[in-house]
Amino acid sequence: MSASDEAVSSEAARELLVDLVKISSPTGEEAECAERLAAFFEERGREVWIDEAGNVRAPADDSVLLTSHIDTVPGDIPVRVEEASERNTATAEGNENVSETNEEESPQLWGRGSVDAKGPLAAMAAAAVETGVSFVGVVGEETDSRGARHLIADREAPDAVVNGEPSGWDGVTLGYRGFLAGEYATSTDSTHTSRPEPNAIQEAMDWWQSVESALAGSTGAGEGAESSEQSVFEQVTAKPVEFSGGTADDGLSVEASAEVQFRIPPGETAEEIRETVEDELGSGTIDWQEPIPPVMETPRSEVGRAFRRAIRRVGGDPRLLRKTGTSDMNLYAGAWDCPMATYGPGDSELDHAPNEHLDLGEFDRAVAVLESVSETLQE
């Protein structure tokens, strides 16, 4: 399928981005934002629909599938576009040594989701319309990735995938650690608190310390990318995210539970981590969720080469990245045998942050990069 007859100007792409950020869409509440995104394709003559999972589907040339997520984490950040002149004036007022503004600076869009990931989402929508490639805006990425899971089950693999997450307009993410979560539980009979025997709360704390010790130094293996977080990327890391305990309602036992998460580097498996954790259980139990495997793509793939070429064409020096977190790309890589990478405008340090904002000049450059990549992969 060819590109739309109606070109997407930089103003139209920015307008879409601002509209999407203005529409609150925490996980589970993506419908209004999905409708605005679908309208963007409908207005330009593209086939589009919202599927039963809530994903926005705009199929076309499957030489590449551009896909990012619609949902955000919760958080109310007043949406505003801050002009460069406003920032420079504020800086000058606070610093008597600043005497002039930088006319090359771009406006910044502030608001929840501007970076993670409505910046990548809007950039991909604009590039998909311009070049005629396939597009999907998925739901639920911030929790259970239900949109990506539905997409994998509902369609065949494209020739290539570009997943949308902030990498900086001149960065390409090739690797993510995997993810494993579980809920630990233990209980002991109630006794007087003067007794020396450990209760369930103490057992849970001891269990977690033993798990951290057992996993200390566990490393995987990576290939072909540089990252300031490289040493972390290659490690198994463990994190408790919720801990509770106390006397049971019937007064006859003490109970304790913990929700825990583990990040899995390439070279390690969820099965290996589970075995290590379960060896330390003692009298406790743990209920595991379905794991997400790690992914490490080669920079020498068609997608990697297309990004390096496109970033240089727009005037940048390509950076190849590994991320210590997990994304929908992990699921796509586990299900589809095709080259892929993750890309999008924005500073990932601002993900989920109270000062989340996106430079609109960077957004424009990211659209140009995505158009160039899509055109290259269509050749």
What is the residue type of 117? A
DSSP notation for 247-313:
E-TTSSEEEEEEEEEEEE-TT--HHHHHHHHHTT-TT-EEEEPPPB--EE--TTSHHHHHHHHHHHH
Return phi, psi of residue 281, to 5°.
Answer: -65, -35
At residue 254, the pLDDT reads 95
Q: 62 in helix, strand or coil?
A: strand
All structural domains of the chain, each given as residue ranges with its CATH number in brackets, are 10-176+295-378 (3.40.630.10), 178-288 (3.30.70.360)
Q: Please choose, from the candidates 106, 104, 105, 126, the residue with its C-alpha nearest in 3D space to the C-alpha of residue 19.
A: 126
The position carrying tokens 């992990």 is 330
Give the side-chain half-sphere CA count within 13 A for 205: 6
Element (H, E) at 240: strand 237-247
pLDDT tens profile 257-309:
999 999 999 999 999 999 999 999 999 999 999 999 999 999 999 999 999 99
Could you give the CA distance from residue 296 to residue 97 in angstroms, rounded to a whole number? 47
Percent of all residues in the chain with a pLDDT value above 70, rounded to a whole number: 90
Nearest to 15 by CA among 100, 95, 126, 132: 126
SS3 56: strand
Q: Give dist(CA 359, CA 114) in Å, integer.
A: 9
- DSSP secondary structure, 94-131, as one string: H-TT--S--TT---EEESTTTTTTHHHHHHHHHHHHHH
Contact call for residues 186 and 284 (beta carbons, < 8 A) = yes
> What residue type is assigned to position 263 of the chain?
R
CB 170 within 8 A of CB 368: no
What pLDDT shows up at residue 85? 74
Phi/psi of residue 240, each to 5°? Answer: -80, 135
CA dihedral 342, 347, 353, 354 (to 10 degrees): -140
Residue 88, pLDDT score: 60
Full-model pTM: 0.87
Neighbour-count burial for 242-275, b at 16+ CB within 10 Å, e otherwise: eeebeeeeeeeebbbbbbbebbbbbebbbeebbe
pLDDT given at position 86: 74
Per residue in 117-152, pLDDT (tens digit) is 999 999 999 999 999 999 999 999 999 999 999 999
CA–CA distance, 245 with 188 (Å, rounded to integer):
11
Positions annotated as catalytic residues are 71, 141
Q: How many CB atoms lie within 10 A of CB 84?
A: 18
Segments of the chain with pLDDT less than 50: 1-2, 91-92, 96-103, 222-229
Sequence-distant (≥ 6) Cβ neighbours of residue 90 within 8 angstroms? none
Q: What is the mean pLDDT of the chain?
A: 92
Q: What is the DSSP letter of 139?
A: S
Confidence at residue 115, expressed as pLDDT on a 0 to 100 scale: 98
